[in-house]
Amino acid sequence: MSVFLMRSCKLPSGAEMPVFGIGTWRMGESARRRAQELDAVRYALDLGYPMIDTAEMYGDGGAEEIVGEALAGRSTRPFIVSKVYPHNATRSGTVAACERSLQRMGLERIDLYLLHWRGGARIEETFEAFHRLRTAGKIGDFGVSNFDADDMKDAAGLDKGQTASNQVLYCLSRRGPEFDLLPWMRKRSIPLMAYSPLDQGGLLGKAALKKLATEVGCTPAQLAIAWVLAQPGVVTIPKSSTRERVKENLGAVEVTLTPRILAELDRAFPPPKGKQALEML
């Protein structure tokens, strides 16, 4: 799969964001695993992964350092997403945190910079800092993470219509956002970035997923990711630190799901019938 064939979606600013990338949570936490994690991110880039999701929280900066090392010496780079800790997300703290992230990754700009979850600083201050960072060219767009529908409504009153995305837990086994959050975001053309599309691996042993994957001719992981990608206005960032899985997961972008398979998946993993509070990992 070439980067050039990868679908992308439009952010409210007009910028394009790829629909697929690699996540990096749990990377950079252990010296013993570091070489393998770096190899996996490098391999993802070699294969054409067009986006990397990271955060200052992951490995206490260690994941961003791996991203920086994987990017070093490349002539093109993917779309970069990183996140600020809520306790750093004050007016000046956000700017300082972003500068540290840029330094760890050896970059001049983060394409999409997110508030990791709500709490800590007042979001007015965080948004003010985001605007400042954008004016200075240090970030392309900004957004939020783990915001439920009410949080998004609050944000909408404060962000001058500029929140580019909301990164939340969304996968076949956790479909709560479909009830209200996702429709609210779709109405405003704000893409939802689905994290843990494999439910951190928990989905992969489900008998229904395995059976349907065999019918489709793909692996259970590919089916789980392809289902997320089949949802309009949704992008996703599965994480793996092994070469085979990095390749396997990318294969999901080429899996097409028929209406029958989608209906079978709905039967096995039903959509929500009412409001469910947003889950968070």
Give the residue numbers annotated as catalytic, written as ranges.
58
| Closer by beta carbon to ligand NAP, 138 or else 239 | 239
Instruction: Report in angstroms how near the CB of residue 88 gets to ligand NAP at its nearest.
Output: 15
Burial 52-66 (b: 16+ CB within 10 A, else e): bbbbbbbbebbbbbb
Question: Which positions from 190 to 219 touch ligand NAP by CB under 6 A, shown as an x/- string?
Answer: -----xxxxxxx--x---------------
How far is the C-alpha of 274 from the C-alpha of 279, rounded, in Å?
14
Pick one of 19, 20, 23, 129: the residue that binds ligand NAP (CB under 6 A).
23
- The Cα–Cα gap between 182 and 190 comes to 9
Least distance (Å) from ligand NAP to the CB of residue 226? 12
Calpha distance 181→188 (Å, rounded):
11
| Window 217-276: residues binding ligand NAP (CB under 6 A) | 221, 237-242, 245, 248-249
**Residue placing its CB nearer to ligand NAP in the complex, 126 or 145:** 145
Shortest Å distance, C-beta 212 to ligand NAP: 16
Among 167, 174, 250, 269, binds ligand NAP (CB under 6 A): 167
What does the DSSP assignment read for 244-268?
Answer: HHHHHHHGGGG----HHHHHHHHHH
Cβ distance to ligand NAP smaller for residue 263 or 281: 281
Q: Is 59 in the site for ligand NAP (CB under 6 A)?
A: no
Nearest residue to ligand NAP, by Cβ distance, number only: 23
Distance of CA 193 to the CA centre of its chain: 5
Q: How far is the CB of 81 from ligand NAP (least distance, A)?
A: 8
- Minimum gap (Å) between residue 1 Cβ and ligand NAP: 15
DSSP label at 171? Answer: B
Half-sphere exposure of 25 (CA within 13 A, CB side): 11
Looking only at residues 120 through 149 of this chain, which bind ligand NAP when binding is defined by CB under 6 A? 145-146
For position 101 contacting ligand NAP by CB under 6 A, the verdict is no
Burial of 260 (0-12, 13-18, 19+ CB in 10 A): exposed
Q: Are 197 and 168 in contact (CB under 8 A)?
A: no
- Specify whether the backbone of 59 is left (phi greater than 0), alpha (psi in -120 to 50) or beta: left
In the complex, the residues that contact ligand NAP under the rule CB under 6 A are 23-25, 53, 116, 145-146, 167, 195-201, 204, 221, 237-242, 245, 248-249, 281
